[in-house]
Structures are given as structure tokens and as C-alpha cells.
Amino acid sequence: MEVSVKDMTGKQVKTVDLPADIFEVEVNVGLMHQAYVRQMANARLGTAKVKRRGEVSRTSAKWYRQKGTGRARHGSRDATQFVGGGRPKGPRPHSHDLQMPKKMRRQAIRCALSALLRDEQVVVVDSLEMDTPNTRQMRQTLDAVVGEGNSALVLLAERNESVERSIMNLDDARYLRASYLNIRDLLQYDRVVIPLDALDVISGIWGKEK
């Protein structure tokens, strides 16, 4: 598919053909959902834990004598019904990781990019360069490129400190290396800004294997 390429002022300077095997695949919503659930699950730490009866720090002495008090028989104070006792059936540390085949993960990224292009959420720019970090200038550039009021995910081919620091203070924008594309970030923003050098990285990584 041929799309227009904008400069940093928002004017169209040329057109470019996007690779069909990445940006024109059949959108599989179920596959994207599975990839999203996997990514969010794998981000969970799974460190929640309560102390069981054998782990609390309580005296091991018998609370009171076995007979003659008229009360129930108890051997210690670490029982679950007492304040300070162990907690029953509480969370234990465990992994929330989910598995997904590599081919399915890669196809989910292609589906997301194709869906974004279909919905006119992909914006291609010829370059995104700044001599020094300048948040105000970056705000003006993004407003011109994606339109005011739209959040933006800016893809970068490589480290660019001036651009990264300029985007860092914007609430509705984020930068991401093109090699780190993931389903969560792609679907989180109104527009995805792709410079031509980042497009080359995407084509090299997510193009269909020959």
C-alpha cells in the first residue's frame, strides 16, 4: 500500500510503499487478544505472599491448660482464627507466565500494524531529528504530524537522546525502539509515528521469512 510521507511540519513530501506482508495481512482479533493477555500476564511479578501457620512468629507454649477452663482446646496461638496467627489459603509466590509460539507472536504484531494502517492511525515521516532536547518543539512537531489531541507512539530506529528527552515530558506521547515493538504499546495510542529509518527496521524484523 502506498502512503504519504510527511516532514516535521506536517507537509507531504513524497510517498512510500509499505510492505504488504506486514501492513496488509488479515487482521486476527483473537490472535492479538491472546498476545496482549500473554504480555500483560508475563509482566506480573507474582510475589504476593501471606504467612501460613508454620511461618508466623508466635510463642510455641500452650496457651492455657488443656482441661478445666471450660474453653476450647488450643495448643498454640498461631492458629488461623487468632489475631497474629497464620493466614489460610492466601496467595503464594508463583509465576503468571503464559506461553505462545513465536510465529503467532510475530503474526500478532503484523495484525496490529495492519489494523492501525487500515484505521489510518499510522503516520510515516521522512525523519525525526533534533539538535538539542526541546519539549516545546517536539509538542509542535507532533501536533503538526498527528493532529492536536491525539496521543502518539513514536518509533525510533536507534538511540536518539535529543528526541527521546524531548518526548519524555509529554503526557500523551512515548518513544519506543522499532526493534521492541509489542502489542500493548501499539494498541495504546491514537497514532503510531514511523520515520523511514524505523520502517526499515520493522521490515527487516517482521517481514515474512523467505
Series of mean pLDDT values for 10-residue runs along the chain (210 residues)? 90 92 94 97 94 89 91 90 90 95 95 95 93 93 92 94 93 94 94 95 83
Q: Please name each of the domains of the chain with its CATH number.
A: 2-26+101-206 (3.40.1370.10)
Global pTM value: 0.83
- DSSP H helical ranges for the chain: 20-23, 29-42, 102-118, 135-146, 161-168, 183-186, 196-206
